Amino acid sequence: MDPVVIPLLVAAIVVILLMASAIRIVPQARRYNIERFGRYRRTLQPGLNLVVPVADRVNTKLDVREQVYSSDPRPVITEDNLVVNIDTVLYYQITDPRAAAYEVADYLQAIDQLTVTTLRNVIGSMDLEETLTSREEINSRLRAVLDDATGKWGIRVNRVEIKAIDPPHTIKEAMEKQMRAERDKRAAILHAEGERQAKILTAEGTKQKDILEAQGTQQAMILRADGEAKAVELVFQAVHRNNADPKVLAYKYLETLPHLASSDNNTFWVIPGELTEAVRTVTSAFGDQSTAGAPAHAQPEQAADAEGVSGADRVPELGAGSAVSLDAAKAADEAERQAAAAVSDAKAEAAEAAMSPQVPNRGQKHGN
């Protein structure tokens, strides 16, 4: 082999190696920090980049996408001296690759320690109840502190979330008992409220029912009284219009006697004192009808008086007038017998009604 060819081949290989080392291809969302002889030179952007071989080298390769960092649970003491374990989730993004590489040695560890110290300061000013119910406030205060501290490191903290807050086991049991008691209290209150509302509604319904029934009874009594008043008025007008004599009234009076014992609640009844007067009226009525022809037969007596015959010497004779008087007496006896029979029937009806109060008005049957 020609001795000139070998050096040429070696030179060509060296040139190719130098050219290959001078080319740097950076992927998307990546940043490369370049140092020249140990000093920061520049940051390579995504794409094809040329560097000085041998003099330039890549110091750090950083990912500028948003990163998620989950810390381990850390013990934190609350204001009421209770130890709780809190673990957080951190969302951050590198905005300045040079500062992230040269301003802090390990930005993840620095962020973790800063998160723990900030949590202890924030939680130390809250009790357990406030800690469990104030996650949003804790998150906002953590983010404000971390974003202010990590800005000079070239890192932006987008979001800080508390993943879990674990109180001690005894505190958990006490909280569960408290929650159970609170729920039992709510259930008892709701049950009592339901019963109270049910009783109120029932009382309102009973009240409305009683009022409606009383109004219905009142209206019925008013209508019944109006009907009876109109009936009495019509009867009174009919009596006066037809000019009824005492005979008819006395007969109707006797006719209504059996109705005195028609009620189921009557155990005794009293015969009014006007009964004898009514019987006497009916008797006189029958007597007047029977003696209607008596003046025709009395003419011989008047003739005897005209002749001057004295009353002491006149002897009564039994004639047709005596027969009329007998008929009137019979009519009176018959009327008295009927009245006595009506009274007896009324007494029997009253006794029967007292013995069996469930039997409806039987006295109306005898009255009709």
Residue 263's pLDDT is what?
57
In which band, very low, low, confident or very high, does the pLDDT at 296 lie, cut at 50, 70 and 90?
A: very low
Mean pLDDT along residues 275-303: 51
Q: Is the pLDDT of residue 269 over 70?
A: no
**pTM confidence score:** 0.47
Average pLDDT rounded to a whole number, residues 272-292: 56
The one-letter code for the residue type at 119 is L
118: pLDDT strictly greater than 50 = yes
249 or 69, greater pLDDT: 69
Q: What does the pLDDT read at residue 250?
A: 64
- 248: CB partners within 8 A, 6+ apart: none
Tens-digit pLDDT profile for residues 131-190: 888 888 888 888 888 888 888 899 998 888 888 888 888 888 888 888 889 999 999 999
As a whole number of angstroms, the distance between CA 52 and CA 23 comes to 9
Query: Whats the size of the chain, residue-wise?
Result: 368
Residue 50's DSSP bridge partners are 23
Confidence class of residue 193 from pLDDT cuts 50, 70 and 90? very high
Residue pLDDT, tens place only, 124-142: 888 888 888 888 888 888 8
Determine the pLDDT at residue 274: 57
pLDDT for 211 equals 94
Pairing between β-strand 23-26 and β-strand 47-50 as defined by DSSP bridges: antiparallel
State yes or no: pLDDT of 202 exceeds 90. yes
In the prediction, which pLDDT does 187 show?
92
User: What is the average pLDDT across 334-352?
Assistant: 67
Q: Which residue has the higher pLDDT, 332 or 38?
A: 38
Checking if the pLDDT of 231 tops 90, the result is no
* Mean pLDDT, rounded, for 227-233: 83
Residues in Cβ contact with 163 at an 8 Å cutoff, skipping those fewer than 6 apart: 70, 87, 88, 89
Query: Which of the four pLDDT bands, split at 50, 70 and 90, describes residue 196?
Result: very high
Residue 266 β-bridge partners: none
Residue 66: per-residue pLDDT: 92
The share of the chain scoring above pLDDT 90, in percent, equals 19
Q: What is the DSSP string of 78-131?
A: -TTS-EEEEEEEEEEEES-HHHHHHT-S-HHHHHHHHHHHHHHHHHTTS-HHHH
| 86-106 tens-digit pLDDT | 888 989 999 999 999 998 888
Query: Over the chain, what is the mean pLDDT?
Result: 76
pLDDT tens-digit readout, 21-70: 888 889 998 999 999 988 999 999 999 888 888 888 888 899 999 999 98
